Each structure stands twice: as C-alpha cells, then as structure tokens.
Structure 1
Amino acid sequence: MITGFDQSYVQCGDVRLSVHRAGHGTPLILLHGYPQNHHCWEKVAPTLAEDFDVIVPDLRGYGDSDAPQDDAEHSVYAKRQMAADIIKLMDALQLPKAHVLGHDRGGRVAYRFALDHPDRLLKLGIIEIVPTGDFWAHWDANLAMKAYHWTFLAQPAPLPERMIGADPEAYIDWTLSAWTLAKDLSAFSDAALESYRAQAADDAHLHAMCADYRAGATYDKALDEADRAAGRQITAPMHFLWAEDGFPAQTGDPAKLWRDWAPQLTHGSCVSGHFAMEENPQAVCDAFLPFFRD
C-alpha cells in the first residue's frame, strides 16, 4: 500500500486492475514501469495527492492486476491495449479527462494514450524513456549492453521465463541495483522489494512482463513507425524528465528525439539512475508539480 491511499479493484474490459487512490482535485494518473508496480510511486504519490486526485493502477500483467496469456501478435500487452485499459478505468471512475504521468513502460503507455486518446488527456508527463521506435533506432554496442533486457525479454516464450524463473529474486535484485546510480538496493523500501520479487516469482506475471517486451519489439515498434510516417504528434503539453545516469541519456540528446513528437515539449534532467521516483523523489516532484499545476 501507498501511505494514505485506498486500494480497490476495477473491472476494465477483460482485465481487473488493482488501483490505489488518494487526494482531491484534477485527476492525475501515475503509470509504473518494469520490473515494478504501484510501489514505485510511494515516495512521490502522497506529495502529489496534496494537489491532485491521484490514481495509481497496476498495469495489466503487473502487481495485483490480472495477467492474461499473451497472443501470437503480442497485442495483449501492446501499449495500445494498456492505454485502452486506462481509458476504461477512467470511464469506470467517471473521469472525462486526466493528467497522465508515466515512468519506463508506463511512459510508453502514457504517450500511446496521448496519441490514441488526445481528447481524454490534459497534460502528459514522461520519465526516463524516449519513444520505442527511436530507442531501437539508436542502439549501438554501449546501449545494447546497458539495455540488454530489451532483447532478452523479447525472446520467444518460454526461454526468458524459464531463465528468470530459476532464481527470480536474484534476477530482480540484480536488475534493480544495476540500473540505480548507487548500484545497490538502498533506494527501495522493504515493501517495494518484497512486491517486486513476488511479482517475478509468479508464473503468470513473469510471462506478462516478458510479453510486454515482446510487444515492444514488434507491435509497439510498428505503431511508432506508422505514426511517424503519418506525421502524428502529441497535441497536449508534455514535460520530459530524464536521469543523468539512465537509459535516454545514452541516446545523446533525448529531448531532441521527443521534439519531433511533441511540439509543446518542456524538459529537464536530474541526478539519478533509472528509478528517479525512488532515487530522487524531490527532483520528480519539483519537475512535475509546477507543470501539472499551471
């Protein structure tokens, strides 16, 4: 649980999502990434809830949400499908529009939400990603070593599931610590670590997390390429925050990659590894509270 938040389950089409909620005011939906869940927001969500109606779902396949079996096209865990889940969640909660802030895989859901459902979005916040197609296009040896999980997790089932499933706790601890600035687990609470480890130890959720990356290498990549060719853009105001020791920084100029997609872009960086909300929560609040308040 996130301190001060209530938890409930909401049926969103064919999946039931676990949702944490607190605060009052304009709705602000927080979307987590891999290999995490709602716990990644536990250091910033209470502060955001002082100004906003903060809604923190576990994405399909993560946390306490349903984890359906993937299909051959990898559409089940495509970011288009995950964004549609959030639309159904908003409908269930009777929210016509909302701000959306996403980190990592949740950032990919967030910008797909912005492209597919612009009439439901107020402002868009993105933490620690560049668009999927652009990220693939900028791979070199250094980025491939740092982001090896993009190709590993996208391998056909059940190869990555079996390898991770042999020692899921060790894999999660290695992944989390390797992507932090400090190269250890000090940024994560005991409750968060327990939740992330338990998630990877569950066969259905482990399969779902791999399927998320299979979609990223196929379905999501193809959607990005089609949107770029069609000249589609994010029409909402967007703020992008990246970590100085994170993944987008490896592309050279991550803000430039977003500029082609988001004409109303503002941006900045912070001292952190990949998990900015847990490593440097003050920087996240300083970046996004003024943006969403204005």
Structure 2
Amino acid sequence: MAIADYFQGFERKMIDVGENIQINTLIGGSGEEAILLLHGHPESYLIWRDIAPTLAQKYTVIATDLRGYGDSSKPKGLSDHSNYSKRVMAQDQVSVMQTLGFSKFHIVGHDRGARVCHRLMLDHPEKVLTCTMMDILPTLDMYEQTNCEFATKYWHWFFYIQAYDFPERFLGADPEYFIRNNLLKKATPEAQKNFPEEVLQEYIRHYSDPATVHGISEDYRASASIDLEHDTRDRPFTIQTPLLVLWGANGVVGNIWNVLEGWQKYASDVQGFGVKECGHFVPEEKPQVVLEALLQFLEEKKTKG
C-alpha cells in the first residue's frame, strides 16, 4: 500500500508558523469540531493511519509532524534548546490551528506529542476542549522518579540529551537498525504485524535525514532542561481540561507507574485505562481500542456540555 492510501481524502499542506518554520499538516473531514493529532518518537503523523480516517467521518481531523520530525522544519538547536521547548512546539500547533480557522479544538497525543499536549493545555487552556494522552506521565515526574528499570528500557532518553553532536553521530549511524529495533521491541509480538514494511520504510526515510536526528535530540535536550523549568513553575496549577489517559498495559510506563493516579494529581477531570496486550505504541498496536475509547470520551464530554 502507498503511504497516501492510508489518508484518502486528506489534503496535505505545509503551514508557516513563523521564524521560517513550516509544519507538515494533513487535513481531512468536515465536522464543526476539530481534532488535532500529535505523534511520538521516532515517528510522524503516520501513526494515526488506522484512526484518522474514522475520526474524519464526524470531525475535522488535523494530523501534523512536530517540528524536528517527519517532513516539518528542523532548525538548528539553540544553545539553551529553547526552540525545541514544548512551549514552542505547542505554539507551532496553535498557529497551525489558527491558520486553519480553529480557535478551540480537541487534542490527542502519543508519547512526545502527548508532552506537547500537556504544555498546550498549560499555556493555552482556553483553546483545548478535551485532551487525550497516551503512554506518558508528566516529564518532570518521570525524571524525578527514574529507576534502574526505566533508565535501562528508556535509555534513549538519556542518550539523546548528551551534548551535540554525540547522539547525532551514533543514533544516526544506522537508521534502519534503529527504527526497526526501537519500534518492534517496544510493541507486543502480536502487534508487530501492525507495522507494515511501507510504514517502517517511511519512518526510516525520515530518520535517515541527519537534520531529523538532530531535531529529535534537541527535543529531548529541551525536555531535560528548559521544559523542566517551565514544568516546575506550573506544577501547582490544576488542569481543568477533561483528560482521557491511555497506556499500554504491557509497556514500560504502565508497569512502573500508576498512570491514572499520576495524572489525577495535576488535573481535576481524569479518566482512562491500560490497554490490554499492548506495548508503548498504543495508536498503532490497538487502534480500534483507542478509537472506541476516544469517541466515547468525546461524546460524553459533549453531552455534559
């Protein structure tokens, strides 16, 4: 199957968000309410291939590549990594939605995209109708509570944050090995069939670009520096946005932490569950479960006003 076949009926645009940054954007559907989909590492908008078309039957669906990923712009990181802060990456997405005519919208994120969702709720709460996040806890909590198991299985968190250009040289040396190793080892054996070869090749294509490896490294460097400063300042703030949190019941995050309780410390309206027989890549491993949970959540919050 060709990559375009996964998003039939969607239009692709490169949207200028300022400072010579363009965000690769797919738009589909025609509903009055919009849903913004944000992917995780080391992937692209393509993670939503089994979810976006169904959502587009009822909503306007926007799926983007984060800055530094996919086909979006990949600027050289600044010395303080601020141009890859989640604050800046969230503003990218707000600018995309404003350009498309949406002042309020639903957000759905997995992994790194969910961290952008977290910051988007903190910085722009008036714009977010609901938020769905998958397989994360707040970045600050995860760094503070790191143990040997987490450091071993999420080794890339601590490799990417090393100074330029150590991780870029090593992690970019064999893109195909890295992508196949990273994706397939974190998915359950049964779910590996959900990563067809053309999808893997698209992820490999992106990761073969040295600018992508640099952008991803800067994303992680920002998370271990300027993002922690922002998150520490905002820690007392209680999120009022309705949250749905999902995680892989067989994944690292769900095995180490109580994800639901973790988010209930920081938000007033939280629901969610661990997805059975699922590893880290929740939207790709169990798209039907995600779809059913998301549609039910959106309908419930719409009904309650």
Question: Normalization by structure 2: what TM-score?
Answer: 0.93
Question: For the residues of structure 1 that align with 2:143 and 2:244, how far apart are their CA atoms?
Answer: 22
Alignment partner for residue 10 of structure 1, among 4, 10, 15? 15
The residue that corresponds to 2:303 in the other structure is none
Unaligned runs of 5+ in 2: 301-305
Task: Tell me if 1:40 matches 2:38.
Answer: no
Question: For the residues of structure 2 that align with 1:121 and 1:112, how far apart are their CA atoms?
Answer: 11
The residue that corresponds to 1:159 in the other structure is 166
Question: For the residues of structure 1 that align with 2:172 and 2:222, how far apart are their CA atoms?
Answer: 20
* CA deviation profile, 1:207-242 (whole Å, cap 9, x unmatched): 0011111111111122212211xx112111111001
Secondary structure in 1 matching 2:82: coil
Displacement of 1:23: 0.9
- Percent of pairs identical after alignment? 36
Displacement of 1:3: 2.2
Question: For the residues of structure 2 that align with 1:159 and 1:151, how far apart are their CA atoms?
Answer: 12
Displacement of 1:252: 2.9
The residue that corresponds to 1:290 in the other structure is 296
Asked whether the 8 Å contact 1:178–1:184 carries over to 2, the reply is no
Q: Aligned pair count?
A: 292
Runs in 1 of length 4+ with deviation above 3 angstroms?
Answer: none
The residue that corresponds to 1:234 in the other structure is 239
Equivalence map 1:41-190=2 (5 Å): 41-182=48-189, 185-190=192-197
Question: For the residues of structure 2 that align with 1:293 and 1:198, how far apart are their CA atoms?
Answer: 37
Task: Tell me if 1:247 matches 2:242.
Answer: no
The residue that corresponds to 1:29 in the other structure is 36
Question: For the residues of structure 2 that align with 1:249 and 1:138, how far apart are their CA atoms?
Answer: 14
* CA deviation profile, 1:141-166 (whole Å, cap 9, x unmatched): 11111111100111111111101222
Displacement of 1:184: 7.7
* CA deviation profile, 1:14-72 (whole Å, cap 9, x unmatched): 21111011112110000001000011000111111112100001111111111101011
Name the Cα RMSD after superposition.
Answer: 1.3
Asked whether the 8 Å contact 1:177–1:183 carries over to 2, the reply is no
Asked whether the 8 Å contact 2:192–2:285 carries over to 1, the reply is no
Question: For the residues of structure 1 that align with 2:135 and 2:30, how far apart are their CA atoms?
Answer: 27
Question: For the residues of structure 2 that align with 1:252 and 1:190, how far apart are their CA atoms?
Answer: 33
Unaligned runs of 5+ in 1: none
* CA deviation profile, 1:188-223 (whole Å, cap 9, x unmatched): 133321111111110111100111111111111222
Asked whether the 8 Å contact 1:126–1:239 carries over to 2, the reply is yes
Secondary structure in 1 matching 2:200: helix
| Cα distance change, pair 221–183 in 1 and its aligned pair in 2 (3 A) | farther
Asked whether the 8 Å contact 2:130–2:243 carries over to 1, the reply is yes
Displacement of 1:292: 1.5
Question: For the residues of structure 1 that align with 2:62 and 2:175, how far apart are their CA atoms?
Answer: 29
Secondary structure in 1 matching 2:106: strand
Asked whether the 8 Å contact 1:173–1:185 carries over to 2, the reply is no
Asked whether the 8 Å contact 1:130–1:254 carries over to 2, the reply is yes
Question: For the residues of structure 2 that align with 1:132 and 1:250, how far apart are their CA atoms?
Answer: 17
